[in-house]
Amino acid sequence: MTDVLRRGRASLAFGFFAQGVAFALLVTRIPAIQDRYGVSDALLPVFLAAVPILAGVGSVVSERLVRRVRPSRLLRWSQPVVLLALLGVGAGDRVAVLAVALAVFGLAVGALDASMNMLGVSLQRAYGRSIMLGFHAAYSLGGILGASLAWAGAHWDLALWVSYLPVVVLLLPAALVGSRWYVDGGREGAEGAGAGEGTGGVGAGVGFKVLLPLCLVMTFAYIGDSTVSNWSAKYLQDVLGSSEQLATVPYNVYMVTTLVGRALGDFGVRRFGAVAVVRGGAVVAAGGFAVVASAPGAWVGMLGFTLLGLGLCVLVPQTFAAAGRLAAEKDGRPGASDAAVARLNVFNYVGFLIGSPLVGALGDAWSYRGAMLVPMVLVLVTVVYARSFEGQPDRYGGGHERPRTADVGRGSNGL
């Protein structure tokens, strides 16, 4: 394995890590942001919904941009924008400033998520074996660190900008330096004037109908994820009768098990294949929701959330990998994989937007125990679509590795 690939893999993993930190610092300090700007409870959902909607717009725009520029360049400049927008959220003093900062954050996050996963998919193809889960493990690790920093800021009653500034000061230059070693796999001639010939009509052979099973899996996975992030504490406290302190534990446990599952997941894909890992993850996640829905008490409920972390963690990385592989098989033109990843990434935000309101509405109209059965069924549907994760003729798994002689293109420092 060449040093170029190793450096590209390490720098991209850091990019995932930095994004995990930034996103966690934003979403875990929502109450403090609301207090700082005096945002009413009625207006807060509008702000919260605007971020994933604009992120979806950013992902769609990214699909267009990567026809002309390399994903590494898009990632290089979108990550600093995300970090600076985060600082803007913490440093502003008027609602208008908050609106602008969140809008910029959302658009940049869409481009960042799309381009990160584009590079991850292309690097996995160059390696010839599963490494995608490792990148998402770095994101989970960043999320745990970001949530811990947010807890410290809240515990010490620090101003938002005081919490955010050191993180941005450390991560911004590190991300810019690391971006020099990003690797675009298999995209020779895909930029500038050459892009019109090499990537014009990128991904035209990979329409929505072909990607539909993977889009559904992505949506269902994020419905499950948003259910845990938005409702685990309330469910444990209001339904299972836990203390307020204990109610904060399930999400932390979920994040840790997500990290563990992703750190080990690539080995599972190499040994058993992507189809078996996705099926296993869906079954474990559905079992987790079933345990949560039927739990007699808080400790059994936490067992359910632990299972959810182990099950859901494999679905999203494998869905991105499958989309890139499918696009490469159906449309061999440069950039087809990138276009497919950008399109699929939109359904990340669709699931996020649907999940929390869905569970809340069902909980109010029916019961929160019953509401947990809906994401359980949706996640279980993934088993039906598991065959979509099997590539032909190559499959990332034991005995199915591709030769490690793939063209890895140029590092982004050559742009």
What confidence tens digit (pLDDT) does each residue in 238-255 have?
999 998 778 878 888 899
| Cβ 330 vs Cβ 206: under 8 Å | yes
Instruction: Show the tokens assigned to 34.
Output: 């609301």
- At residue 1, the pLDDT reads 56
Average pLDDT, integer, range 295-302: 95
pLDDT, one tens digit per residue, over 83-123 is 999 999 999 999 999 999 999 999 999 999 999 999 999 99
Residue listed under structure tokens 């702000």: 47
CA–CA–CA angle 290, 293, 297 (5° rounding): 115
CA–CA separation, 132 and 140 (whole Å): 13
Q: Which domains does the chain have, with CATH numbers?
A: 1-183 (1.20.1250.20), 203-397 (1.20.1250.20)
Angle, alpha carbons 311-111-137 (nearest 5°):
30
Q: Would the pLDDT of 296 be above 90?
A: yes
pLDDT tier for residue 356 given thresholds of 50, 70 and 90? confident
- Is residue 14 within 8 A of residue 172, CB to CB? The reply is no
Nearest CA-CA partner of 158 in 166, 287, 356:
166
The strand pairing partners of 411, in sequence order, are 183
CB 219 within 8 A of CB 350: yes
Other CB atoms within a 10 A radius of the CB of residue 169 amount to 12
pLDDT digits (tens, 9 = 90+) for 279-292: 999 999 999 999 99
Does residue 67 register a pLDDT over 80?
yes
Q: Is the pLDDT of residue 174 over 90?
A: yes
| Cβ 144 vs Cβ 67: under 8 Å | no
Q: How far apart are CA 64 and CA 58, in angstroms?
A: 10
pTM over 0.85, yes/no: yes
Alpha carbons 77 and 267: distance in angstroms, whole number: 32
Q: How confident is the model at residue 390 (pLDDT cuts 50, 70, 90)?
A: confident
Q: Place 412 in a pLDDT band, splitting at 50, 70 and 90.
A: very low
DSSP class per residue in 34-95: HHHHT--TTTHHHHHHHHHHHHHHHHHHHHHHTTTS-HHHHHHHHHHHHHHHHHHHHH--SH
DSSP state letters, 315-335: HHHHHHHHHHHHHHHH--STT
Q: How large is the angle between the packed helices 160-178 and 30-37, nearest 10 degrees?
A: 120
pLDDT reported for residue 407? 40
Q: 357 to each of 41, 312, 353, 414, how far by Cα in Å?
A: 15, 19, 7, 45
Q: In the structure encoding, which two tokens stand for residue 216, read together?
A: 């559904």
Q: Identify the burial level of 197 via C-beta atoms within 10 angstroms of its C-beta, where 0-12 means exposed, 13-18 middle and 19 or more buried.
A: exposed
Residue 371 and residue 369: Cα distance in Å, rounded?
5
The packing angle between helices 132-155 and 3-27, to 10°, is 40
